[in-house]
Structure 1
């Protein structure tokens, strides 16, 4: 426990940082007219939930269930909380830095879907376009041999009939075909991976069910064709450059300091190796942390990006406030509004639906949550999560380096309890 005590002493609640962010850093939060207007209104008082957030973070770090983390929150357009705790590299005794870069895994999906929406509103792409219009080779069949039309809408809503390899048994068809989930560190091209995926039978007729899947990797392939550029460049041009989000990338140069990845398969969590198998449901997630430094690995639209909590907060706050410089308010609303009707989700629990890139809270009572209706969120298997409550005008991003506890352990629930309970 001596090491844990040292970490807690180094990472005391960062009050000065919070105040600085609220007063001066806000001007850098989002370079849009909307945020410039809010910045001119002043920072307001210190957030009244900061102490509760501190307690939740102290609890998870002292339990040794999470190795290191960064939590940042914005309320009504102001950064009201930012805290780092624990180790970015436990073995080297390197504490989490103020601009720690994390592997954000499936939180990548939101950025790629917003990139797709930007092309749709420009008339370069349509939700009703068949995927085969852009990827002629991508025409998978159902298990009874039919060849249905898969649209861009099906991809964005995870209703295309696809799945992930880690969601099937380890002798499943995706494994037999060598389909990559985007987490390993091979040098397979995106096209080759999508061709392998297209040769697997669909799980169901597109549009008839919801199934979390490689659909956003397929969308990434479509975006490359529409943009006539790599997915990295398309996201950069559409989102990260306009908002100044320099840390959000599909790969970084070797030597860049990135939070070391750990797995909470035991306590304390173990340091991941390449490649690291983590038992998950019927199968296993295969992680290769070194992929973050491999610029030859294909850009996985589903799980491939890295970045800082602050930059991701800027992104979600842009969407919460109507799209800023990157998409229109209409597109931002479509992104964050349930697009499934009454079609149930197999993840997220009761009360949730899915928009055009994120989970959407339809019924807080059914979900047992105090979040406002229309709140939206998602997470990542490297141990990351975020949520946005448009009613409370609250956005929270919590990035950890511990899989899967930062995603599915007690931390997300503890932070939400801290945010809403007096």
Structure 2
């Protein structure tokens, strides 16, 4: 690392981390930043396990939750680059029995592109009310332990009516789990093996899989609570927006080799591994993807469809894309990609600034959508702008 060039960046980001830990809004974190192709910041802080007094380490393993989605979306694009899958494919080409209908029983057709852009008419159980259609159907969001297979969950998803006609709205959803099942059929192997072969192995993401590769490095999981975060139990619930069922979380799923591979929420890995993926995509996709497909992945695919919770943003093939920094109230450049994960993660890539940032915590939901995420983002830009002005 070049200490002279990154002195201000370090100071700003360190201040946010230290303050957030002092205020007991998170238990532990790993933050890594790459700029212009060089890793310029890496810090582990706080505790990986508060009760055992185990310090956070840079190679700590986190339950990725929705950080899984860009990895599985990338695997689908690798298959597209190989001619084994098409964005225009009907999902029924690969999953003949996956035929959810509209609310009045009308048939609907879903494409692979609609799965990847979250315009397929699907939803998540945690978005619905307490006894919504997904809860009644027994749908798993991919973060609890249900003892069911991916095929079982697909049957349950398909038994519930679609929220809207595919292609007409955008709603964040379980679509990437369905995409995972499509990948399995297209490549003829289980999703965990497919993702390993298509993405994690060629990129050297050795810490990333659908179960923890080393249980001793797995962080404990915590949730927001008055005073300080509380340790999550297995089969726990974390509230989301008022009026919704909230998240059902089973932290031990990360060690369960029998749990079905959730393409939208099931992977476990390190901050450094995920930074490798982001930088690979930012630099054009080699050695796993052609640049043209990365450009398509990182281009808004949903026009002006409204995105709840994400003002000023559109959506590419796997993550959000910033259209209007003012509407989003962010210092990020237009064109920035961003997403997060329920267990307490945020990340973004600003191609204009040649910048990739991974901020993982073990605290839901502060690390995903709390003040920590905006503070880290503002600190990064304050640091790079201060450096640029010297």
Q: Same fold (TM over 0.5)?
A: yes
Structure 1 residue 253, shift from structure 2 partner = 5.7
2:242 matches 1:314: no
1:287 counterpart residue number: 249
2:100 counterpart residue number: 140
2:353 matches 1:392: yes
- Report matched runs for 1:226-241 at 5 Å: 226-241=186-201
Tell me the TM-score normalised to structure 1 length: 0.88
Of 201, 204, 213, which residue of structure 1 is paired with 2:161?
201
2:301 counterpart residue number: 339
- Report matched runs for 1:7-406 at 5 Å: 19=1, 45-46=5-6, 48-252=8-212, 255-281=215-241, 282-349=244-311, 351-406=312-367
Q: Which runs of 5+ in 1 are unaligned?
A: 1-18, 23-42
Q: Which runs of 5+ in 2 are unaligned?
A: none
Q: Which SS does the other structure have where 1:377 is aligned?
A: strand
| C-alpha distance after superposition, 1:88-136 (max 9, x if no partner) | 0001111101211111110100000111011112111111111001001
Q: Which SS does the other structure have where 2:170 is aligned?
A: coil
Partner Cα separation in structure 2 for residue 44 and residue 315 of structure 1: 27
Aligned-pair Cα RMSD in Å:
1.3
Tell me the TM-score normalised to structure 2 length: 0.95
| C-alpha distance after superposition, 1:313-339 (max 9, x if no partner) | 011000000001111111111111110
Structure 1 residue 420, shift from structure 2 partner = 1.6
The number of equivalent residue pairs is 381
Partner Cα separation in structure 2 for residue 179 and residue 105 of structure 1: 16
Structure 1 residue 48, shift from structure 2 partner = 3.3
Structure 1 residue 186, shift from structure 2 partner = 2.2
| C-alpha distance after superposition, 1:5-60 (max 9, x if no partner) | xxxxxxxxxxxxxx3xx6xxxxxxxxxxxxxxxxxxxx984453111001011110
Q: Which SS does the other structure have where 1:48 is aligned?
A: helix
| C-alpha distance after superposition, 1:111-164 (max 9, x if no partner) | 001110111121111111110010011010000111111000110000000000
CA contact (8 A) 1:167 1:283 kept: yes
User: Structure with the greater relative contact order (CA < 8 A, sep ≥ 6): 1 or 2?
Assistant: 2
2:342 matches 1:417: no
